[in-house]
Amino acid sequence: MFRRILAAIVIVATALALLVVAWPQLFGVAQLPILAQLVSLRAVSTSVGLGVVALLAVVALFVAAARRFAGSMALIVLVFCLINLAVLSARGFGDTTFAEATDRDVTVLSWNTLGDRPGADTIAQLAIESGADIVVLPETSRDAGEAVASLMGDAGLTMAAHTVSYDEISKARSTTLLISSTLGEYLVDELAETTTVLPSVVARPAGGTGPTIIAVHVVAPIEREMANWREDLQWIKGACAGGDVIMVGDFNSTLDHFAGLGTTSGAAVGECFDAAVTTDNAAVGTWPANFPALLGAPIDHVMSTPNWLATGMRVVEAQDDSGSDHRPIVAQLTPAG
């Protein structure tokens, strides 16, 4: 009798724990330590879970004394895997189709370069091939950003380079933003509050016409930075407001972490909608680059207010060996209406 009661307790506790991991926002715990990390890698959790199901099935098949317990546990883990697969499927395993471009479109490239690792030539080549109007480069130095802008200018794409650095010691504490001259003159808002540990760049149109462009770098949710990470998430929530914003970069967060941060119906953060969601790319991982894309964490985002429609997006896998631990993302935004 005691063994049956103990088995029942273990089964119920496991079911509850896996439910919390599968959908932590249901309990309001998606931003807590451990859970924040686990939910980032849903596909990995699912793969591990399927392996556990197979192992438990073997135990149930060949160990008669453990058959009922192993079978129950296998069923619970299988349900956990199915929930994750349903979430990932709803978010989209990748659609690289772009609508036919118009002369009003804005093409955005974002790439955390891990301290200039790919080199200016590689970054510029991708930006030129993409026809990027906005290039967001977290962990990229001023010198590298200016070199990329120069190379793009040589190709006929004139870009203004803006860099914010918290110090000149670590390149991780610099974020560079390139903006095409076709969008007009932009000025960095030096008075704008920004992210806590790693810099974000807030650029506003000098003439007052055009979107506010924000190059984001949220600190990673590692143990010693959890409070700063949550503070950064609140900052991006407040930053994406005002009706005309394009907010792009390394958010170090997935859609699960954004639960409750949208202030507009359907928005991911503040008033901003995630291009990956609307183009069925939100389950494609951008980090780490040495993981298969469908097993990685989608933590790099292109977001915009509702006056912009995402009409194409892709996670670039061709640069996985370039030296950065992030994959670049490219998105096409079209003015609504």
CATH number for 305: 3.60.10.10
Same domain, 26 and 175: no
Residue 213 and residue 186 in contact, taking contact as beta carbons nearer than 8 Å: yes
Which residue has tokens 């990995």?
Answer: 44
Residue 174 backbone dihedrals phi, psi, to 5 degrees? -130, 140
Integer Cα distance of 326 and 328 in angstroms: 6
Which of residues 91, 116, 134 is at a domain's end? Answer: 91
Q: What is the pLDDT of residue 184?
A: 97
Q: What is the pLDDT of residue 242?
A: 84
Q: Would you call 66 exposed, middle or buried from its count of C-beta atoms within 10 A (0-12, 13-18, 19+)?
A: middle
Residues 223 and 263 in one domain: yes
In a domain, 210, yes or no: yes
Q: How far apart are the first and last CA of the chain?
A: 68
CA distance 195 to 266: 24
Residue 53 makes CB contacts below 8 A (sequence gap 6+) with 74, 77, 78, 81
Asked whether residue 100 is assigned to any structural domain, the reply reads no
Looking at residue 331, the DSSP 8-state letter turns out to be: E
Per the domain annotation, does 61 fall within a domain?
A: yes
- CB 233 within 8 Å of CB 246: no
Q: What distance in Å separates the CA atoms of residue 161 and residue 158, rounded to the nearest whole number?
A: 10
User: Are 118 and 86 found together in one domain?
Assistant: no
For the chain, 337 residues long, give each residue's pLDDT as a single digit of tens.
Answer: 677 888 889 999 999 999 999 999 999 999 999 999 999 999 999 999 999 999 999 999 999 888 999 999 999 999 999 999 999 999 999 999 999 999 999 999 999 999 999 999 999 999 999 999 999 999 999 999 999 999 999 999 999 999 999 998 899 999 999 999 999 999 999 998 899 999 999 999 999 899 999 999 999 999 999 999 999 999 999 999 988 999 999 999 999 999 999 999 999 999 999 999 999 999 999 999 999 999 999 999 999 999 999 999 999 999 999 999 999 999 999 999 7
**Is there a single domain that holds both residue 189 and residue 46?**
no
**Count of other CB atoms within 10 angstroms of residue 236:** 25
Stated length of the chain: 337
Of 63, 91, 119, the residue at which a domain comes to its end is 91
Is the domain of 149 the same as that of 12? Answer: no
Indicate if 319 and 234 belong to the same structural domain: yes
Q: Which residues sit opposite 128 in a β-bridge?
A: none
- CB contact at 8 A, 137 and 123: yes
Query: Domain check: are 65 and 25 in the same one?
Result: yes
Cα 149 to chain centroid, rounded: 25
Same domain, 21 and 165: no
In a domain, 235, yes or no: yes
- Shared domain for 76 and 178, answered yes or no, is no
Report how far residue 24's alpha carbon sits from residue 304's, in angstroms, rounded to the nearest whole number: 26
Rg of the chain on CA atoms, in Å: 22
Residue 21 is inside which H or E element, if any?
A: helix 2-22
Angle between helices 142-154 and 120-130 (to 10 degrees): 50
CA atoms of 181 and 54, how far apart (whole Å): 57
Domain count, the chain: 2
35 and 123 part of one domain: no
Q: Is residue 99 part of a domain?
A: no
For residue 179 the two structure tokens come to 């903006």
Question: What residues make up the domain containing 26?
Answer: 2-91
- Residues 50, 114 share a domain: no
Instruction: Return the half-sphere exposure (C-beta side, CA atoms, 13 A cut-off) of residue 86.
Output: 8
Q: Are residues 111 and 182 in the same domain?
A: yes
Q: Closest Cα partner for 331 from 82, 67, 105, 171?
A: 105
Contact 144/120 with Cβ under 8 angstroms? yes
Burial class of residue 85 in the structure, from the number of CB atoms within 10 Å of its CB (0-12 exposed, 13-18 middle, 19+ buried): middle
- 53 in any annotated domain: yes
Tell me, yes or no, whether 162 lies in a domain: yes
Q: Evaluate whether residue 284 is within a structural domain.
A: yes
